[in-house]
Homo-oligomer: A and B are copies of this chain.
C-alpha cells in the first residue's frame, strides 16, 4: 500500500538522504571532522533524527561505507567490462581501484582504515565482498597460467597478492606517504611496479 513516489511524511526518505549528505560532507570536511550533527543539519533535520534509522553514528558510517564499496566495485567493473581476460583487464581493474581512492580519499579511508570492519553491519559486509569479488574475477584471468615467479601459487594467493599490491599502493598514495618516483612526483600508475603476471590466450578457458 506504500506509494513509493509520494512524499510519505515528515521528510520523505531521510535514511538515504542522510547517507547522501554524509558522502558529500565526508569529502568536504574530512573523516575526522565528519559529525552526525553536521550531516543532520545538511539534510535539514534535528541532530537526533538519524536515531530512528541508524542505531548510532557508527551505524550511519557503516551505511556510508557500504555505499562506498558498491561504488568502488562499480568503478572497477566499469573499466573491466569489454576487456578480455589478462593484462588489459588487470590494467582496467587496478586503475579503477586507484582512481576511486584518489577521487574519494576520505571515503576510501572510511572504508578501509577506520576500524569500521570490527563491528560492521551485514550490509557493509556484503558490499565489501562485492568489491572484492571484482578483483577476484580479474585475478581469475591471471590464475591460469600461474604467475611466472611463483609457479606454485594457488589461485587464492594470486588474488591476495593482487589485492595486497593495489590496496597498499592506493593506501600509501592517498596518505601522502608515497609512492613517488625518484624525482618526487606521485606515481599514479600502479602497473609501473606491478610484477608481470604471465598471460596467454588460454587464459579464457581457464576462467570458468
Contact = CB atoms under 8 A, between A and B. Distances in A.
Interface of A: 30-32, 109, 112-115, 117-118, 128, 132, 147-150, 153-154, 156-158, 160-161, 163-169, 171-172, 175-179, 181-182, 187, 190, 192-197
Contact of A148 (B117, B149, B160, B181): B149
Given A148-B149, A195-B150, A179 B160 contact: yes
Number of chain copies forming the complex: 2
Contact of A164 (B118, B149, B179): B179
A190 B150 CA distance: 14
A122 B160 CA distance: 35
Nearest to A161: B193
Contact of A30 (B31, B115, B148, B178): B115
13 contacts: A30-B115, A112-B175, A113-B113, A113-B171, A147-B149, A149-B196, A150-B195, A160-B178, A160-B193, A161-B165, A164-B190, A168-B168, A195-B195
B112 A171 contact: yes
Nearest to A152: B196
A48 to B, nearest CB: 21
Contacts of A160: 178-179, 187, 193
A167 B192 CA distance: 17
A161 B112 contact: no
A112 B173 CA distance: 11
Interface centre among A31, A147, A156 (most CB of B within 10 A): A156
